[in-house]
Amino acid sequence: MMSIRQIWITLVFLSFSYGQFGEVKVVFDNRLLKVHHQQNILPLKQDIVRYIKTTRWDEDYTDLSIPLHIQFIFEGVAQKGAQETFLAQVLFSTGIDQRYFDKSVQFPYGQGGTLYFDIVQFDPLSSFLAYYVNLILAGEIDTYELMGGTRIFEMSREIALRGTASDFSRGWSERAKLVDNISTNYGLRKAKLSFYYAMELFRDGEMDEAILEFKKMIKGLDEVYDRSPREHYTLLFLKAHTNELAKILQLMGQKSMLRDMMELDPDNLEIYKKALY
């Protein structure tokens, strides 16, 4: 018979094994905090890692192993009623093509508190983390299924709306606008799916099918360009994949597509030009 400790270890192992996120790295820049505040938040790093890795964020996509890097830049501590509230800027990144920088988060934190996700019960820190985790998860699911991340985007939107109506409303109206902008950027969402599918087809040697998907990708990027030629998150996506994309279009002899990319992605013009000539 297993001891209580063995059961607990088994449950934690299972939770980590089936989470949507792989390596989660949390970094604190706390130089602006007083020493006792720095000490108070030390346990928070592991609390965040545990929270993200052990929460079942979605029942369908359970083995994505998304890498996640989170950096907190603490700005100070304010008194809000009887609570001490930490003020920070936070960067979320997958290290690939998803990156979000939040300039305005506030949350109370005391040692012994537990981070947990509840869509109905708003919590300043748990809900803040859940908002961005779901935003990133939705973006990842979009690369597996056409508009597959829609219901997860809705989760982030619901969290943002609850945050706007909470006692810790700082930044939540901007977060509501952010998820609206990203989820309605249909051109980018379609382009991402086609890019990843085309890459898979190329690796499998299915060149004709890969070319068709790359054409769909360019069509999606055209939609974005017509809506907003300098759309921030589209530029991030392109920057992350330009070299690989240019090389493969060159290998497949797709000069017309390289010319299209020179127009759609002028920031990386020289890379496409080199592949073309």
Per residue in 202-229, pLDDT tens? Answer: 999 999 999 999 999 999 999 999 999 9
Domain shared by 145 and 252, yes or no: no
At residue 80, the pLDDT reads 73
Domain shared by 64 and 98, yes or no: yes
pTM of the model: 0.91
Number of domains in the chain: 2
Domain range holding 242?
190-276
At residue 182, the pLDDT reads 98
At residue 112, the pLDDT reads 65
Which strands sit side by side in the sheet containing 99-108, from one edge to the other? 21-29, 66-80, 83-93, 99-108
Domain shared by 46 and 147, yes or no: yes
Domain shared by 38 and 164, yes or no: yes
Residue 173 included in any domain: yes
Those residues with Cβ within 8 angstroms of residue 3's Cβ, 6 or more apart along the chain or in another chain: none
Secondary structure (DSSP) of 108-173: E--TT------SSS--HHHHHHHHHHHHHHHHHHTTTSTTTTHHHHHHHHHHHHHHHTSS--TTHH
- For 162-189, write each residue's pLDDT tens digit: 999 999 999 999 999 999 999 999 999 9
Residue 201 included in any domain: yes
Distance CA 52, CA 64 (A): 13
Which of these three, 161, 183, 205, is where a domain ends? 183
At residue 111, the pLDDT reads 65
Distance CA 210, CA 215 (A): 9
Domain shared by 80 and 155, yes or no: yes
Residue 2 included in any domain: no
Domain shared by 100 and 143, yes or no: yes
At residue 83, the pLDDT reads 83
Which of these three, 183, 214, 237, is where a domain ends? 183
At residue 38, the pLDDT reads 95
Tokens of 239: 């920057």
Domain shared by 105 and 217, yes or no: no
At residue 81, the pLDDT reads 74
Domain shared by 175 and 216, yes or no: no
pLDDT tens, residue order, the chain (277 aa): 434 433 333 344 344 445 799 999 999 999 999 999 999 999 999 999 999 999 999 999 988 999 999 999 999 999 877 788 999 999 999 999 999 999 999 999 986 678 999 999 999 999 999 999 999 999 999 999 999 999 999 999 999 999 999 999 999 999 999 999 999 999 999 999 999 999 999 999 999 999 999 999 999 999 999 999 999 999 999 999 999 999 999 999 999 999 999 999 999 999 999 999 9
At residue 253, the pLDDT reads 97
Domain shared by 79 and 160, yes or no: yes
Neighbours of 101 (CB within 10 A): 11
